[in-house]
Amino acid sequence: MNAAIARARAQAALTDLRPQPDDIAADAIAGLSAAPKTLPSKYFYDAEGSRLFEAITRQPEYYLTRVELALMEAQMASIAQAVGDGVHVVEFGSGSGRKTELLLDGLQAPVAYTPIEISRTALMDSVTRLGQEFSDVQMLPVCADFTRPVSLPRADRPAQRTLVFFPGSTLGNFSDDEAIRLLRSMRDTMGDDGCALIGIDLDKDPAIIEAAYNDQAGVTAAFTLNLLTRLNREIGSDFEIDGFRHRAVYARERMRIETMLVSERAQTVRIGEHAFDFGAGEVMHVEISQKYTDASFSALAARAGLRVTHGWNDGNDRFGLRLLQPA
């Protein structure tokens, strides 16, 4: 490790609240006891899952990341003007380093950066790199599940306001109720004068959306199945990985991708003393990816006490960024 990396690591004061195997097992047992069966998509992101997700973002069919990045590049000056200067940026997830770089680079003199991220490795890698690149921005990482309340580390230099950053349409991976809870928690984190910049994937031709979640190279399928590998390793379940198949369908009436693992045969999966029977063809719901219209997103934000003050879309209305403030 070179000296600059060692210094950046040492300066990044880490608060570590990562999930323990007992929590993961309890969530898996609850999901497999439900009808239909479910598993929480938040556990996709172990080291291999994070690597596979990065690979998804490079697939030709997965337009979301490319379009959002291009949108940020094109609109950063306008975004910076709407946000104002001297902000403490709080990112829910450490996500794509490139988007954070564009933001920290494009904003006027941001004072601090707090990513809240469940994967310790992803978190430390991102602040180590960003700490070297943005030496005037204090790195204050928090290792935690961002869906639970987190108290924000205080920056040494006072910030003008807090900006919550939640790109990538990750909000779409939560049910409406969970998304509202998350938006309310952003509302608490930002305070009365703060704001949130949120990336949302927009409703469009279902063929374009379905292709993005069923890439030809099979990277998304590997990403979905990796959830089972992770559970086997971390909580001692005995999923047979080749006993399940990835399926992602756009449910137009609900405007969302629904990703499932389909049981290839009748089989029993065990977690400790718990046994779960699957029929042949039985589906287990593992992820939703909500898409939005202006009306549906504004209505969701309103239910969390937020209003949309600014919006930017790419030229083809595939992806949008929205700036929210307390209503």
Cβ 217 to ligand AVI shortest distance, Å: 13
Cβ 288 to ligand AVI shortest distance, Å: 8
| Amino acid at residue number 171 | L
CA dist 117 and 197 (Å) reads: 17
CA dist 240 and 165 (Å) reads: 38
Cβ 281 to ligand AVI shortest distance, Å: 22
Cβ 27 to ligand AVI shortest distance, Å: 18
CA dist 78 and 83 (Å) reads: 9
Cβ 65 to ligand AVI shortest distance, Å: 9
Nearest residue to ligand AVI on Cβ basis: 289
Cβ-based nearer residue to ligand AVI, 162 or 224: 224
Cβ-based nearer residue to ligand AVI, 38 or 220: 220
CA dist 241 and 257 (Å) reads: 22
CA dist 153 and 166 (Å) reads: 18
Alpha-carbon Rg for the chain, nearest whole angstrom, is 20
Q: Give CB contacts under 8 A, 24+ apart, made by 263-270.
A: 267/240, 267/243, 269/32, 269/237, 269/238, 269/239, 270/237, 270/238
**183 close to 300: Cβ distance less than 8 angstroms:** yes
Cβ-based nearer residue to ligand AVI, 109 or 241: 241
Cβ-based nearer residue to ligand AVI, 27 or 201: 201
Applying CB under 6 A, which residues contact ligand AVI?
Answer: 56, 64, 168-170, 172-173, 213, 220, 223, 287, 289
Cβ-based nearer residue to ligand AVI, 110 or 199: 199
Cβ-based nearer residue to ligand AVI, 163 or 288: 288
Cβ 46 to ligand AVI shortest distance, Å: 14
Cβ 51 to ligand AVI shortest distance, Å: 13
Cβ-based nearer residue to ligand AVI, 94 or 170: 170
Q: Which residues contact 259 (CB under 8 A, 6 or more apart)?
A: 41, 213, 224, 246, 247, 248, 285, 286, 287, 288, 289
Q: Which residues contact 35 (CB under 8 A, 6 or more apart)?
A: none
